[in-house]
Amino acid sequence: MSAIRLLVLGAVRQRGRAHGYQVRNDLEHWGAHEWSNTKPGSIYHALKQMAKQGLLVAREVAPSTVGGPPRTEYEITDRGTQEFLALLREALVSHDEKMDALSAGIGFIVHLPREEAVALLKKRVERLEEWRRSVTDYYAPEGGPGQFGHIGEIMHLWVHSADAGAEWTRGLIDRIENGAYVFEGEERVHASTPAPPVSSLES
């Protein structure tokens, strides 16, 4: 899954209408440049590509008062919204996504209804548990990694990753079920208000 597509679509959707610098500034504010491949060049490339694909619509606006070429602003289309929500749901349920995809999903989780967010996170826990069981079919953690030589450390890592991922996800589910954060349909947030940094959802 492409984290950059999710991040850029989400940033544009959140603002309603945005030019490249605003998208870049929002993503940097969230720290996305630290945990994903959201470099300036990749952001502008993604905007142009998704406009060609019909996920965004590009509109030229008047140049700034200091001169220069017309500025291009982007709006998300209905197809773009469908793609954004599909990527968001995939990021939240997949146990094997890279950290950038999961982080992007958590960053936009409040764009879903609370009940759906909880259901998706519970599905993620189920998939992590299934993955753990598939590993322990061949590897018994209580026997320690040495039973397979140094290769056993790989399976030991997988088991610990599954356990840690499930524990963190259950904690997030508990916080959401107990009323943390404002989700879709609960309160209208102004379109230009940036989403909170991902780190604030992890506390």
In this predicted model, what pLDDT tens digit does every residue of 65-103 receive, in sequence order? 666 667 899 999 999 999 999 999 999 999 876 788 899
pTM flag (> 0.85): no
DSSP-based helix, strand, coil % in the chain, nearest 5? 65, 10, 30
What sign does the dihedral 72-78-79-81 (CA atoms) show? positive
Task: State pLDDT tens for residues 151-181.
Answer: 888 888 888 999 999 999 999 999 999 999 9
- Greatest CA span in the chain, whole angstroms? 70
**Of residues 158, 179, 169, the one with CA closest to residue 202:** 169
Which pLDDT band holds residue 62 (cuts at 50, 70, 90)? Answer: low
Q: Are 141 and 47 in contact (CB under 8 A)?
A: no
Lay out the sheet containing 71-76: strands in order across: 18-19, 71-76, 56-61
Q: Take residue 130 and report the two structure tokens written for it.
A: 């299934």
Q: Take residue 29 and report the two structure tokens written for it.
A: 């504010």
* Measured distance CA(130)–CA(96) in Å, rounded: 12
Q: Are 146 and 121 in contact (CB under 8 A)?
A: no
Burial status of residue 63 (CB atoms within 10 A of its CB: 0-12, 13-18, 19 or more): exposed
What sign does the dihedral 68-69-75-76 (CA atoms) show? negative
Lowest mean pLDDT among 36-45, 78-87, 133-142, 194-203: 194-203
Q: Take residue 84 and report the two structure tokens written for it.
A: 């954004």
Q: Are 201 and 106 in contact (CB under 8 A)?
A: yes
* Measured distance CA(153)–CA(143) in Å, rounded: 12
Per-residue pLDDT at 69: 66
E strands, 2-44, where?
18-19
